[in-house]
Structure 1
Amino acid sequence: MDQTTVQLLCPECTKDWQHSPGELPSAAKMFHCPNCHASRRMSEFMRTDRDLQTLKQLG
């Protein structure tokens, strides 16, 4: 079975990666980029609106 992932993109350093939505904080919680340690709401790291909706549904 395929595991659902969301695409993330750091708005500061532009690092992009994928992660399981169940292992991420909710969209309104603070998140820290693993590359540059920028701190923003999780929703700001979602690459697309679809990724944000997936996080909200499955996170």
Structure 2
Amino acid sequence: MVETTVQLLCPECTKDWQTEPGELPTSTEMFHCPNCHASRRTAEFMRTDRDLQTLKQLG
């Protein structure tokens, strides 16, 4: 089985990382950057539109 990940980028501190979509809240829920603790909708942390679509489909 192929592991699917999404890429994230914090809009405040620019930390970038990747994780599995199932480990994240839905795109409209609040998410907190593990680096600077900025709080925004999860969708705002998605690096690309494709990552956002993956989150919506598999998250």
Q: Say whether the fold is shared (TM-score over 0.5).
A: yes
TM-score range, shorter chain: over 0.9
| CA–CA separation in structure 1 for the residues paired with 2:55 and 2:18 | 12
Q: Following TM superposition, by how much is the alpha carbon of 1:2 offset from its aligned partner in structure 2, in angstroms?
A: 2.2
Name the structure 1 match of 2:47: 47
What is the CA RMSD across the aligned residues, in angstroms?
0.5
Q: Structure 1: where are the runs of 5+ without partners?
A: none
What is the percent sequence identity of the aligned residues?
Answer: 83
TM-score in terms of structure 2 length:
0.98
Deviation per CA, 1:3-54, whole angstroms, max 9, x where unpaired? 1000000000000000000111000000000000000000000000000000
- Counterpart of 2:38 in structure 1 is 38
SS of structure 2 residue aligned to 1:44: helix
Gaps of 5+ in 2: none
What does 1:1-59 correspond to in 2, within 5 Å? 1-59=1-59
Runs of 4 or more above 2 Å deviation: none
State the aligned residue count: 59
Q: Calculate the TM-score normalised by the size of structure 1.
A: 0.98
